[in-house]
Structure 1
Amino acid sequence: MRKGILALATSGLLAVTGLAACAEDKGADTGAPKTPKIGVILPDSKSSARWETADRKYLEAAFKAAGVQADIQNAQGDKTQFQTIADQMITNGATVLMIVNLDSGTGKAVLDKAKAQNIPTIDYDRLTLGGSASYYVSFDNKAVGKLQGDGLVKCLTDSGAKNPAIAQLNGSPTDNNATLFKAGAVGVLQPKYDAKEYSLVADQPVPDWDNAQAGVIFEQMFTQASGKINGVLAANDGLGNAAITVLKKNKVNGKVPVTGQDATVQGLQNILAGDQCMTVYKAVKQEADAAAALAISLAKGETKSTDQTTKDTESGRDVPSVLLVPQAIFFNNVKDVVTDGYVTKAELCTADFAAKCTEAGIS
């Protein structure tokens, strides 16, 4: 239910609402307060639908409600374009810069340029390793991976699989979140590998979270394992769907549990159809609202303190953070994502899925 989902984010939201203003930022040249203007760079629209369908929408609404000027652009996976957008935003007077990096190297270069201009910065969703972000707003990404690992174990147990062979289809090696997702999941699965309860037959990252490439990689995994794959740890719904496409081609979809993340319409429909065992729902509105609240305060010249930090494993720096709580979604609680307003019944319950939606209690 909505109440339950909102409760999950309470600790993270408290970190935002509890932020205390400490100082006022004056214009560097004139001493006058700068006009609040927030620049946001999203990474792409290919790796996950969420960036354009959810994050942009929620951020725009929050900035509009606060009456603060904002410029939200999408780099569409182009690292050169990412830096060009950042340069333009800085030149055009951004007083806060919020980024979702494409990789830590590119992200660091952008953050360092902003820092040189005394512009506060926020790493949104992905931490830039070795970077200089003033703050980091995301979900507890290791917890996301743990939910995926626990979910896969649950689905394999429910299926009655004996000594299952597992394929791990991980996110992009340049995304620190992908590293955390894997760490969380492997923390659950490794003891089972060590005890020979499960076997790991394939383990590979997918460059740039590219779903088409994921399909090629998983087909190779499936062939090399002679089709003997009993469970797929897929880092998000796009990668999960790529695996499901291969499983369908080999007529074993629904028999092999597949995980996911992002609670996309496609991922939820795959769960309703029985082709995907679970996804991880991250209430993006909570993340966007938390980041927007922080950015708006910074744009108005306030500095903030948070009650959470995240260790940058490259620099050793503890980055002030707001970390929200993710939720596992299975067939029996797909309705929670609809109740929360993240997807609509009309989007999800198309003709092919109407009966399954009724069965799942979606009304």
Structure 2
Amino acid sequence: MKRKAALVLAIAFSVLCLLVMAGCGKSGQQKHIALVFSHEPARWTEGAQMLKEQLEKDGMAVDLMIFTSDDEQKKYVEKAVSDHADCIVLAGGDIKNMGEGLAKAKEKNIPVIDYDSLTPDTDSVTYYVTFDNYGVGEAMGKYIEQKMNLRGGAGPFHIEFFSGSDTDSNAKLMYQGTYDVLKPYFDKGQLKTLSGQSDYASSAIKNWDGKNAQKRMEELVSAYYQSANLDIVVAASDGIAYGVIDGLVGYHGSWPLITGQDADKKALDYIAQGKMAFSIQKPSLILNQKCIRVIKAVVDGSQPEINDDKTYNNGKVTVPTYLCIPRIIDKENLSEVQ
């Protein structure tokens, strides 16, 4: 009986070791993943929690650090490097806060994966996992084209752009995707921007901050839309759209078509109420599934799957990328996500 009990214990111990080793890679050491995520937008923090839970289930050690300031971002990136993380996953922020930390990560051969926001002006980023941001902008433009019957010659309409932060390369790609669709209608006079601020640089909203969008919208209403209708607002995110809506308090014309991105609960409510026309849904689950595959590949020393090695140049290097596919949510399919 004692021999049988000892044998059972030995088998159980062996199984436990195998389960632990499953998440430890070739070296037998448990892999350590550092997640350094901005607190905005909300879907990033939700995605980070989901990533942490799944990676821990897969046997990895995960350090989740959510930053709310420049100082915190700098500190967390440097902590990830000093802790000898096997991989750093980074979402959002500004290169000026973390350039030194990322340079040290490269020196120590720590792979860095950008999550849904490409870090500019660094050669330290190894891979990028995101949605097709040019495609997001293109989808916005095509929706406007269809709903406003631009192909049928309708117009002229007044349109204003509220683009994403100029520190985020995604924002420029989104803007370009939208503008490329709409440019022919500017050329034909069907679309007009009374403010003259139709380019990316002048329409960018610092830090994607809704309060900055609100302030700019109030200024535009006061200067240009006291007697003229504002027909379309291309808002690059739900948060920016909320600021636009708050900034329309002094506007008394017909309600504009307002775009959005992220499809959070408030945006879905606004779509139902008619305050927003649509939002772009970018499900964290889909993004995380692809990101986890890339993480596992890099910590095991293998080549991850990518589907774009040409588009995403951050000013220093072209970063190998996996692009996920987003979708538009408006009143027609709202019931599918509520």
Please state if 1:127 is matched with 2:118. Answer: yes
Secondary structure at the aligned position of 1:328 is classed as strand
How much does 1:251 deviate? 4.7
Letter in 1 for 2:115: Y
Q: Distance in 1 between matches of 2:148 and 2:50?
A: 36
Q: Distance in 1 between matches of 2:166 and 2:305?
A: 31
- Larger relative contact order (Cα-Cα within 8 Å, sequence gap ≥ 6): 1
Partner of 2:8: none
Q: Distance in 1 between matches of 2:116 and 2:99?
A: 15
Letter in 2 for 1:267: A
Partner of 1:94: 85
Instruction: Return the match for 2:147 from 149, 155, 165.
Output: 155
Please state if 1:42 is matched with 2:37. Answer: yes
Q: Which runs of 5+ in 1 are unaligned?
A: 1-23, 27-31, 339-363
What are the within-5 Å matches in structure 2 for residues 227-242 of structure 1? 227=226, 228=228, 229-242=230-243
Letter in 1 for 2:39: D
Q: Distance in 1 between matches of 2:297 and 2:313?
A: 28
Q: Distance in 2 between matches of 1:217 and 1:251?
A: 17
Please state if 1:83 is matched with 2:74. Answer: yes
Higher-Rg structure is 2
Q: Distance in 1 between matches of 2:103 and 2:245?
A: 41
Letter in 2 for 1:175: D
Partner of 2:185: 192
Relative distance call for 1:107 and 1:65 in structure 2 (3 A) is same
Q: Distance in 2 between matches of 1:146 and 1:269?
A: 24
What are the within-5 Å matches in structure 2 for residues 12-91 of structure 1? 34-45=29-40, 48-52=41-45, 54-76=46-68, 78-91=69-82
**4+ residue runs of structure 1 moved beyond 6 angstroms?**
none
Partner of 1:210: 209
Q: Distance in 2 between matches of 1:141 and 1:217?
A: 24
Does the 8 Å contact 1:214/1:243 carry over to 2?
yes
Secondary structure at the aligned position of 2:125 is classed as coil
Does the 8 Å contact 2:160/2:233 carry over to 1?
yes
Report % sequence identity.
Answer: 25
Letter in 2 for 1:84: K
Q: Distance in 2 between matches of 1:198 and 1:307?
A: 35
RMSD of aligned Cα (Å):
2.3
Secondary structure at the aligned position of 1:97 is classed as strand
Q: Distance in 2 between matches of 1:89 and 1:309?
A: 27
Relative distance call for 1:284 and 1:43 in structure 2 (3 A) is same
Secondary structure at the aligned position of 1:98 is classed as strand
Aligned residues: 304
TM-score of the two chains, using structure 2 as the length reference = 0.83
TM-score of the two chains, using structure 1 as the length reference = 0.77
Deviations 1:228-259, CA, capped at 9 Å, x for gaps: 31110100111111111233553557x21100
Secondary structure at the aligned position of 2:320 is classed as strand
Partner of 1:266: 266
What are the within-5 Å matches in structure 2 for residues 126-145 of structure 1? 126-131=117-122, 132-145=124-137
Does the 8 Å contact 1:55/1:284 carry over to 2?
yes
Letter in 1 for 2:42: A
Letter in 2 for 1:118: N
Q: Which runs of 5+ in 2 are unaligned?
A: 1-23, 198-202
